[in-house]
Every structure is written in structure tokens, then in C-alpha cells.
Amino acid sequence: MQNSHTLVVLVEDQPGVLNRIVSLLRRRSFNIDSITVGHSEQPGLSRITLVVNGEDAEVEQVGKQLYKLLEVVKVTDLSGEGAVYREMVLVKVAAKAQTRAEVLTIAGIYDAKVLDATPSTLMLEATGDAETITSFLNMMKPFGVREMVRTGRIAMARSGQSKSNGRIDRINSDSYAAD
């Protein structure tokens, strides 16, 4: 079944690690909707959020192939778990005297913040899940969007720990020490 999956990939923070991940996804023809990278709570580990569209078996392959990269410590598929998804958007909207009040009212509905204002524009910041951001942008479009930037998705499981059923398991990862 074709589904959107959100994978959280914990990687060792080494030079070139993002290149390794992106190169792997490209050469194995996996389709990625978005990828974000940032620090995690653990020093030395970066957290990558990947949004992958594909059959369940294909997404499982993405996880298994990622595990073959030396820097990849853990891959978790958040789909099917209770998880919170967020994106952020910065948008510069045309807002002259006659429309400014209306723009600000709509911004208020979406809890968007005003970051900057000029006599003819407003810069707004909004966060939310993908649908909310899309809806916010649709509302802003009629006023005239001068500039827009949208981050990829970040995500976190609701439970205290990421649940084991979301884990794409390294099958039998019995520890094995080098000689």
C-alpha cells in the first residue's frame, strides 16, 4: 500500500554523513518528500527526519539500507504511532493599509507571529502540521505572497519512549565485538 511514512534516523555526527544518506536514497531510487537534519538530545548524534512515500515493503528496505551505513545508529518509523508532526513557514505577504487588518486577523487564527513589517508587507511565522501550514498559505495567497520558505517535517512520538513496534529492527542485532 502506498503510504507516507515518517522515519526518524539517529546518526553519528560525522563529516559527510548527510551526503552518505542522501546518496543512498538517490542511488536506490527511494522517493523522499522531505528531509530535515538537526541536533538530538544526545551529544554526538544528529536526528534526521525523513518523509518517505512508498509501499510498506519499500519503506522497510529504506530502513534496512540506512542501517548499512556505518553512522546510522537507529531508524524508527513513526507511522502508526501517536506522533506529533511540525513544519514551520516564513512568509512575506503584501499588506497595505487596506488589507493589513485582514492579514493580521487570519494570522491570528493560525497563531502566526509577525516578525517584520513594512508599509507594504508583513513577514509572518507559522508552525503546525503539514495540513495547517498548507491551509495557512492558501489563506495568504490572495493577498500576494512575495516570498515564502517552508521547512521539512520534524516529528516526535507522543509516548515517553519511541515504541518498539515503530522500530525498524536490525534483525538479530546481537552485539559482536571485534577481535
Partner 1 sequence: MVAEPTIIERTDEATSPNGRVDAEPEILTGAEITCRCLEAEGVTTVFGYPGGAVIPLYDALPRSNLHHVLSRFEQWSALEADGYARATGKVGVCIATSGPGATNLVTGLANAHLDSVPVVAITGQVAQPFIGKDAFQEVDITGISLPVTKHNYLVQRPEDIAHTIKEAFYLARSGRPGPVLVDIPKNVFLAKAPFDYPKKTGRRSYQPSLIPNMRQVRLAAQMIDEAKKPLIMAGHGIILAEGQEVFRRFVERTGIPVIFTLLGLGALPESHPLAEGLMGMHGHRHVNAALEECDLLVNIGARFDDRATGRLSGFAPNAKVIHVDIDPAEIGKNVPADVPVVGDAREALKLLIPEVAHRDHADWRAWIDGQRNRMLEAALENRPTWPEPYAIIKSIREAAGGEAIITTDVGQHQMWAAQHIGVEHGERWITSGGLGTMGYGLPSAVGAKIGRPELEVWTVVGDGGFQMSLNELATAVQERLDINIAIINNGYLGMVRQWQDLFQDKNYSEVQISGPSFVKLAGAYGCTGIRIERNEEIMPAIQRARSIDGPVVLEFIIEPEANVYPMVPPGGSNSEMVHGNLWQPTEEDV
Least distance (Å) between residue 114 CB and partner 1: 41
Q: Which one, 68 or 160, has the nearer CB to partner 1?
A: 68
**Closest distance between partner 1 and the C-beta of residue 59, in Å?**
12
How near is the Cβ of 77 to partner 1 at its closest, in Å? 15
- Beta carbon nearer to partner 1, 118 or 179: 179
Q: Which is nearer to partner 1, 41 or 174 (CB)?
A: 174
> Closest approach of Cβ 51 to partner 1, in Å?
21
Helix, strand, coil percentages for the chain (3-state, nearest 5): 30, 40, 30
Question: CB of residue 44 vs partner 1: minimum separation in angstroms?
Answer: 11
Q: Which residue pairs, CB below 8 angstroms and at least 24 apart, start in 58-67?
A: 58/30, 59/3, 59/5, 59/7, 60/168, 61/28, 61/30, 62/7, 62/25, 62/28, 62/30, 63/7, 63/168, 64/168, 65/24, 65/28, 65/30, 66/7, 66/9, 66/21, 66/24, 67/168, 67/170
Footprint on this chain of partner 1 (rule: CB under 8 A): 12, 15-16, 19-20, 23-24, 27, 57, 60-61, 64-65, 67-68, 70-73, 170-178
60 vs 125, beta carbon nearer partner 1:
60
Nearer to partner 1 (CB atom), residue 2 or residue 175:
175
